[in-house]
Amino acid sequence: MADPVILWFRRDLRLADQAALLAACAQGPVIPVYVLDDETPRHRRMGAASRWWLHHSLASLDADLRKRGSRLILRRGKVEDVLTALAADTAAASIHALHHYEPWWRNAEAAIGKRVPLTLHDGNYLSPPGVLRTGGGQPYRIFTPFWRALREIMPPPGPAAAPQVIPAPVSWPHSDRLEDWALLPTAPDWADGFAAEWTPGETGALGRLDDFVDRASAYDEARNLPSIEGCSRLSAHLHFGEISPATIWHRFDDPQRKADAYLRELAWRDYAQTVILQLPDYGRVNGRAQLDALAWRDLNDAKGDFAAWKSGKTGYPIVDAGMRQLWATGWMHNRVRMIAASFLIKHLLIDWRHGEQWFWDTLVDADYGNNAVNWQWVAGSGVDSNMFVRIMAPLSQSEKFDAGDYIRRWVPELAHLRGPAVHDPDAFGCRPKDYPTKIIEHRAGRERALAAFATLNG
């Protein structure tokens, strides 16, 4: 029998359209491995909500592997040391994995490749990040021309089917028990509402895709309406690689489906990876140096406002509904994410990095590229972003996008309010006693933000 090969899983927890798996199967017996590495990412270790998702996704992946005569080996520790030791113990000939573009994974790939033969494959994105170039030969930094260039080379290759049988080694190495990793919260179980919202794993991802197919043509408008199910809810499945973007593209790339708006959003993932490939510190460093001198409020002075924002007690119903949805489900509606982020940055004048870190810990779809690019877009600090001086008005945004039923669901203190009063109870004199007053008036927050920005220009 040929020497075994290691299949290294990370954010690619699927068997279909999995190039590394197919290559490993063609070479010899396969040892699928997931390494929980909290050392290599350092301060970017996976957040609490993502760990909940990971637990269930790994359980699902192991079950899918066992149906094909294989299993998932779990190990914990610094990945380059763990995989090197595992390769030596099993006499593995090589390691196969999909490319990842977060800076810590690129560093790990380089370190592993020096110690064990490592073959990296594409498959987590529509096109390998960094391949598309401007006329001047540089990677794109602006989304619109990036999208035009990507559209020209689409569709991606058709998705490959999962193998029916995965060749197994003569003997299996030791595996940790998933339960011993303590990825699920206890005392208290703050994720008790997650299970009603999500089914992590490849089967759950395909179910979400099936559910979204008939709604995709309405996506361009519906994604902005929090009170209806307009988003695909595929973001966490895509982040964990439970479904490939190629699978989604081929399902929707049909003029009859009129899903171009959704495909454009799918391409945003590729764009975000292209940005962090060029700017690895984008999660903490402004893309525009001009914003470096902005006088953010000291968090010690603003800790009460920050706590109110995190807990959904700002007195702005649309912001509070979003933050409470986030806490209850690990996810927030796309339009509301922008409103909540803008409120923190502009109205409260709190550095975007504090909000980005909160989302990193609380989102089940927390993705380094997407999270950093989206926060910097709202902050006006990104290489391609909204201007800082464009300040969202949360009250008018709430009414414009008909968020009444969304607010009534997530802010039960306001569930009895009808009509426009639900967007701004103070304006209609009907704010319940158990709902907080606004922590800052819109005009005052706007003027403070503009004054802070004006100092940058002397």
pLDDT of 423 reads 98
CB 80 within 8 A of CB 74: no
Structure tokens at 359: 């989302």
pLDDT of 257 reads 74
Contacts of 227 (CB under 8 A, 6+ apart): 402, 403, 404, 405, 406
Other beta carbons within 10 Å of 195: 11
CB 286 within 8 A of CB 385: no
In the chain, the N- to C-terminal Cα span, in Å, equals: 73
- Cα separation, 356 vs 375, in Å, equals 6
Buried b vs exposed e over 342-376: b needs ≥16 C-beta within 10 Å?
Answer: bbbbbbbbbbbbbbbbbbbebbbbbbbbbbbbbbb
Element containing residue 317 per DSSP (H, E): helix 317-329
User: Three-state SS string across 381-422, please?
Assistant: CCCCCCCCCCCCCHHHHHHHCCCHHHHHHHCHHHCCCCHHHH
Give, in degrees to the nearest 5, the angle at Cα 395 between 389 and 398: 110
378: pLDDT strictly greater than 80: yes
Residue 91's SS3 state is coil
Specify the CATH architecture of the domain 289-457: Orthogonal Bundle (1.10)
Contacts of 412 (CB under 8 A, 6+ apart): none
pLDDT of 258 reads 82
Model confidence, pTM: 0.97
Q: Please check whether the domain covering 5-124 is classified as CATH 3.40.50.620.
A: yes
pLDDT of 458 reads 57
For residue 262, the 8-state DSSP code is H
Strand order in the sheet with 30-36: 73-76, 30-36, 5-9, 95-98, 118-121
- Cα separation, 171 vs 183, in Å, equals 28
198: pLDDT strictly greater than 60: yes
Give, in degrees to the nearest 5, the angle at Cα 350 between 456 and 433: 135
Percentage of the chain surpassing pLDDT 90? Answer: 96
State the number of CA atoms in the 13 A half-sphere of 228 facing the CB.
13
How do residues 401-435 score in pLDDT, each as one tens digit? 999 999 999 999 999 999 999 999 999 999 999 99
Q: Directed axis angle between helix 317-329 and helix 303-311, to 10°? A: 70
Banded model confidence at residue 254, pLDDT cuts 50, 70, 90: confident
Buried b vs exposed e over 406-415: b needs ≥16 C-beta within 10 Å?
Answer: bbbbbbebbe
How do residues 346-377 score in pLDDT, each as one tens digit? 999 999 999 999 999 999 999 999 999 999 99
From the list 447, 435, 436, the residue with the least C-alpha distance to 393 is 447
In sequence order, the β-bridge partners of residue 137 are none
Cα Rg of the chain, angstroms: 23
How do residues 77-111 score in pLDDT, each as one tens digit? 999 999 999 999 999 999 999 999 999 999 999 99
DSSP string for residues in 163-196? PS--PPPSSPPP---GGGG--S--SS-TTTTHHH
Residue 4's SS3 state is coil
The yes-or-no answer to whether 125-158+199-278 and 289-457 have a common fold is no
pLDDT of 187 reads 86
171: pLDDT strictly greater than 70: yes
From the list 226, 231, 197, 204, the residue with the least C-alpha distance to 13 is 204
Mean model confidence pLDDT for the chain: 96
Residue 8's SS3 state is strand
As assigned by CATH, the class of the 125-158+199-278 domain is mainly alpha
Q: Directed axis angle between helix 334-342 and helix 317-329, to 10°? A: 120
- Cα separation, 349 vs 371, in Å, equals 19
Q: What are phi and psi of 48, to 5 degrees?
A: -65, -45
pLDDT of 288 reads 95
From the list 263, 241, 254, 252, the residue with the least C-alpha distance to 150 is 263
Mean pLDDT of 442-453: 97
All structural domains of the chain with their residue ranges: 5-124, 125-158+199-278, 289-457
Structure tokens at 160: 């490959």
37: pLDDT strictly greater than 80: yes
